[in-house]
Amino acid sequence: MFQYIIRRLLLMIPTFLGITFMVFFILQVAPDGPFERAVAQLKSANATSESGVSMSSDLIGNSSELSPDILEDLRMQYGLDKPIIIRYLIWLGVFPKEYKRETAVIGKHFRETVDFVQINENSKKQLQKYILVESEVDKNNNISYNIIESGAGLKYSLPDVSRLQTDENFDFDKYIFFQNEYQELPSHELISTWYFSNWDLEKVNSDNTVTLVKKEFNGIFQGFLGYSEKKGKNVSTLIAERMHISIFFGFTSLILVYLICIPLGILKALKHGKRFDVLSSIIVFTGYSIPGYALGVLLLSYFGGDIFPLHGWRSPDFSELSLWGKIKDQIHHAFLPIVCYMVGSFATMTVLMKNSLMENLNQDYVRTAFAKGLSEKRVIFFHAVRNSLIPLATGIGSSIGIFLAGSYLIEKTFGIDGIGLLGFNALIDKDYSIMMGALAIQVVILLIGNLISDITYAIIDPRIRFK
Amino acid sequence: MTNKNLSESILQKRINRFKSIKRGYYSLIILISLYVLSICAPIIFNSKAIMVKYNDEYYFPLFNSIFSNKNIEAKDLGQFEIKGKKKYGQPHYRLLKKQYQKEDKGNWVIMPLYPYDPYEEVISEKDEQFTDVNGNGVWDPSENFIDENGNGIADKYKYTNFPNSQHLLGTDNQGRDVLSRLIYGFNISITFAIVCCFLSYIIGIIIGGTLGYFGGKVDLFGLRIIEIYGSIPFLFMLMILATFIKPNVYILASMYVFLTGWIGITWYVRGEFLREKSKDYVSAAVSMGQSHWNVMFRHILPNSLTPVITFAPFAIIGYISALVSLDYLGFGLQPPTPSWGELMAQGRTNLQYWHLIVSPLFSIGATLFLITFIGEAIREAFDPKVHSRLR
């Protein structure tokens, strides 16, 4: 058993890689991606700037085309200068991503600005680093280069920071001690020397300069799902913000489906061919024939507005409600979506339960149980039902996966901002970093769900032994 | 029982058994007749006249538009102006009919049974929005335009209309007739499903057959690949592709099958081949020196068709649902192709127009309901399970 689980876990790795690579590949080769959009945006910006406001000259190439330099920069920014497989490895985090590049004069400091870091309510700290490249000639006349990195934390109070951005007459020198030329390290109490530098020397240029690059492993394996430029947030944050919604809908509908379908299936099997069976079959078939989101639209048009809210996950004033009010509000908003979530698997579950029980009632062991004089109730509920639950129990893992991954159709219909809708909107916006991040999470959820399925299968059904 | 019945083949037996399950049999008949009707829809649901007699000459605008691209100009038929404006291009046949009746010069127009087609432009609908007091189909200065505010000026044309005597199921948000869009949409949905089914069966039988027949490493390796392939969210991929390929129904069907549709049937065929492979007749065929191809497709395939056939209706349900959801999200067929999903999306944005929600929902529900019945009946007929229990 243990070995089996280990083997399944190991198999998950190539599956995960296969899925993500396929999607990554398609996203990268698909036309009209983020790069093309950025180019188009720049072009239109150029066009408007020429007609009216002037822009800095290096941004404008010729009249409508972008200059090759800018295109090259853009390509680098989107990572298109590397082959797809390398881009994929960068995304995974097994290949370092180059995210900064600097041409440094040997013997001179250059400053690397790191973002403001909030310390407390009204002060921020700006982290800055000073990098000095020194060349050293040893006795064999080989030149070696040392990269020395120093850092400083500058403290600003918040009003100054905002003034920095708005006030034209702001006295920069008073607050910022550094000139544009960094011959020397600025004198400052907070400056300390880094022991190592994560700048790498790429090449030595002829004009006494060197090209430095900064690389970092930053991908899925480091827990970094990507950064969405459009939303200005990390993908992991975006997903974490929505996870509870998907978990709520996923588990609630899953539990309700099992709670309703198992008794219904048992009842249908016991009353096979009778009026109850036929009537409930009609309901079950209707549920099977109507897609959940379509039912959602119908329900919305009849009950939306006055009885149930038209869209959303909770009321805007949810946090101000009392506990009872919160529960009521949540049920109020979740009722229709959960009905739609359930419709999808309702029919299959019920029929599965019914068929499975009927098959078991046909088995010899049931005959034996009857023959030794057990009561009908005991035979059915103690022997037959238990065995017929096996296929349902094994399905629970993959159901968890499917429910948690979210249905973008239902989320779109009801305007619930869950993971499914996040992925769908990313698709529309061509926000591929979100798509890939959401995909990675969903794939992992699905794979774990399948694993749970297999394990429950092995635990529940003693006939199955995995060797 | 006659001799004829005794010697009937197993297929004949199955068909008879299927026919005896009334629910499924009638569903099949209804579905087929609806499909035939929808194929004939262009001559039943169309805004072009079937036949026009004008000045002792006969015109067949509908057939002209179907079989050749020869267009009939409005002025050729004596329709010179509508609403006081000169009419160019194609004639407006519904108004032309009224005009001829009024003129009473022996000219006539035969319209199709339901004179609205699913593509008809808003403008042409607009042309009819006046009170035709003298009923001549031509707007006279004394006649009022129908409008919302009742001020006699066509100030606001309403695209979406509830069902009324002209449009039996109302009009959609661009003034197009919902009923004819539903019928044409039915045709497209079923065509899509059939094309999908056909293609995925070809792929599924070849790949599934190969995996099941050869087994061993081929099977193990192939299954891994299919598992990976099957876990890719291909509906998303299809949406990405659909935005720049702009597919028609056949291309969309092929894309769908290639990306995801073939997987289900492949599993089935593989399992069936795996089971059949160990039977004696296969060994016999192999020992006779039959080629792999022959063994696979002449011996095993006919014997493993039962689950494949019983799977088909449920696969078709899946294909139709997929098409509807793609259209609902706006990533399916290109507008203005009539589609159920697109009507559904219109209903979502205009919740007050119940006819935009109920009519596509009913169409989807009824169609899938019929197919479910057929599927149940086929399963019952091909693979009967006797459920007996004590007490």
- Which among A31, A272, A427 has the least Cβ separation from residue B387? A272
Contact across the interface for B361 and A435, Cβ inside 8 Å: no
Q: What is the reported pLDDT for A172? A: 44
Torsion from C-alpha of B91, B97, B101, B107, nearest 10 degrees: 60
pLDDT in tens, B212-221: 888 888 888 8
pLDDT band at residue A310 using 50, 70 and 90 as cut-offs: confident
Interface test with A, best of B241, B380, B390, B391 (most A CBs within 10 A): B390
What are the chain A neighbours of B368 within 8 Å (beta carbons)?
288-290
Which residue matches tokens 């070696």? A144
Chain A residue closest in CA terms to B361: A294
Topology of domain B178-381 in CATH is MetI-like fold (1.10.3720)
Q: Encoding tokens for residue A227?
A: 């950064």
CB B215 within 8 A of CB B275: no
- Which among B237, B354, B389 has the least Cβ separation from residue A23? B237
Q: What is the reported pLDDT for A179? A: 36
**First vs last C-alpha separation in chain A:** 8
Residue A162 in this model has a pLDDT that exceeds 60: no
Chain B residue closest in CA terms to A424: B236
Q: What is the reported pLDDT for A69? A: 77
Chain B residue closest in CA terms to A272: B387
What are the chain A neighbours of B229 within 8 Å (beta carbons)?
18, 22
Task: Tell which wins on pLDDT, A3 or B127.
Answer: A3
List, in order, residues 6 or more apart from B196 with CB less than 8 Å away. Answer: B253, B256, B257, B261, B315, B316, B319
Domain ranges, ordered by start, for chain B: 48-111, 124-157, 178-381
Q: What is the reported pLDDT for A183? A: 44
- Which among B243, B329, B390 has the least Cβ separation from residue A370? B390
Mind telling me how many Å the CA of A461 is from chain B's nearest CA? 22
Q: In the Cβ-directed half-sphere of A55, how many Cα atoms lie within 13 Å?
A: 16
Contact across the interface for B324 and A291, Cβ inside 8 Å: yes
C-alpha torsion sign, points B109, B114, B120, B123: positive
What are the chain A neighbours of B244 within 8 Å (beta carbons)?
30-32
pLDDT in tens, A264-300: 999 998 888 888 888 888 888 888 888 888 888 888 8
Q: What is the mean pLDDT of residues B6-24?
A: 82
Under DSSP, the state recorded for A299 is: H
- Which among B244, B365, B389 has the least Cβ separation from residue A362? B389
Contact across the interface for B240 and A367, Cβ inside 8 Å: no
Contact across the interface for B228 and A300, Cβ inside 8 Å: no
CB A276 within 8 A of CB B322: no
- Which among A288, A359, A376 has the least Cβ separation from residue B391? A376
pLDDT band at residue A63 using 50, 70 and 90 as cut-offs: very low
Q: Encoding tokens for residue A237?
A: 């944050």
Helices (H), chain B: 3-6, 10-20, 22-39, 41-44, 61-67, 93-103, 122-126, 178-214, 216-231, 234-245, 249-256, 262-277, 280-287, 292-294, 301-303, 305-329, 340-349, 354-382
CA A453/CA A254 separation, integer angstroms:
14
**ipTM of predicted complex:** 0.80
Contact across the interface for B366 and A289, Cβ inside 8 Å: yes
pLDDT in tens, A231-265: 878 888 888 888 888 888 888 888 898 899 999 99
Mind telling me how many Å the CA of B317 is from chain A's nearest CA? 8
Interface test with B, best of A271, A301, A368 (most B CBs within 10 A): A301
CA A194/CA B6 separation, integer angstroms:
95
- Among A102-116, A220-234, A250-264, B240-254, which range has the highest average pLDDT? A250-264
Q: In the Cβ-directed half-sphere of A242, how many Cα atoms lie within 13 Å?
A: 25
Interface test with B, best of A26, A28, A297 (most B CBs within 10 A): A297
Chain B residue closest in CA terms to A445: B231
Residue A156 in this model has a pLDDT that exceeds 60: no
Name the least confident of A90-104, B62-76, B145-159, B262-276.
B145-159
Contact across the interface for B328 and A289, Cβ inside 8 Å: no
Contact across the interface for B328 and A294, Cβ inside 8 Å: yes
Q: How far is CA A38 from the centre of its chain?
A: 23
Q: What b/e readout covers B302-341, taking b as 16+ CB neighbours within 10 angstroms? A: eebebbbebbbbbbbbbbbbbbbbbbbbebbbeeebbbbb
Name the least confident of A56-70, B37-51, B73-87, B334-348.
A56-70
Contact across the interface for A291 and B325, Cβ inside 8 Å: yes
What are the chain A neighbours of B233 within 8 Å (beta carbons)?
23, 439, 442
Contact across the interface for A310 and B328, Cβ inside 8 Å: no
Report the mean per-residue pLDDT for chain A.
Answer: 75
Interface contacts A/B by beta carbons within 8 Å: 116
Within 10 angstroms of residue A446's Cβ, the number of other Cβ atoms is 22
Contact across the interface for A18 and B365, Cβ inside 8 Å: no
CB B86 within 8 A of CB B138: no
Q: What is the mean pLDDT of residues B275-279?
A: 85
Residue B36 in this model has a pLDDT that exceeds 90: yes
pLDDT in tens, B326-373: 888 888 888 788 889 888 888 888 888 888 888 999 999 999 989 988
CA B149/CA A397 separation, integer angstroms:
59
Q: What is the reported pLDDT for A418? A: 84
CA B303/CA B291 separation, integer angstroms:
17
Contact across the interface for B228 and A32, Cβ inside 8 Å: no
Contact across the interface for B244 and A442, Cβ inside 8 Å: no
- CA gyration radius for chain A? 31
Mind telling me how many Å the CA of A313 is from chain B's nearest CA? 18
CA A428/CA B329 separation, integer angstroms:
10
Mind telling me how many Å the CA of A286 is from chain B's nearest CA? 7
pLDDT in tens, A421-463: 888 888 888 888 888 888 888 888 888 888 888 787 777 766 6
Chain A residue closest in CA terms to B367: A289
pLDDT band at residue B121 using 50, 70 and 90 as cut-offs: low
Within 10 angstroms of residue A156's Cβ, the number of other Cβ atoms is 19
Which residue matches tokens 């095993």? B300
For chain A, domains (ranges, CATH) are 99-216 (no CATH), 233-460 (1.10.3720.10)
Mind telling me how many Å the CA of A290 is from chain B's nearest CA? 5
Task: Tell which wins on pLDDT, B243 or A86.
Answer: A86
Contact across the interface for B369 and A412, Cβ inside 8 Å: no
Q: Pairing mode, if any, of strands A97-105 and B85-86?
A: unpaired
pLDDT band at residue B195 using 50, 70 and 90 as cut-offs: very high
Interface test with B, best of A298, A358, A435 (most B CBs within 10 A): A298
List, in order, residues 6 or more apart from B84 with CB less than 8 Å away. Answer: B139, B141
Question: H-helix or E-strand containing B86?
Answer: strand B85-86
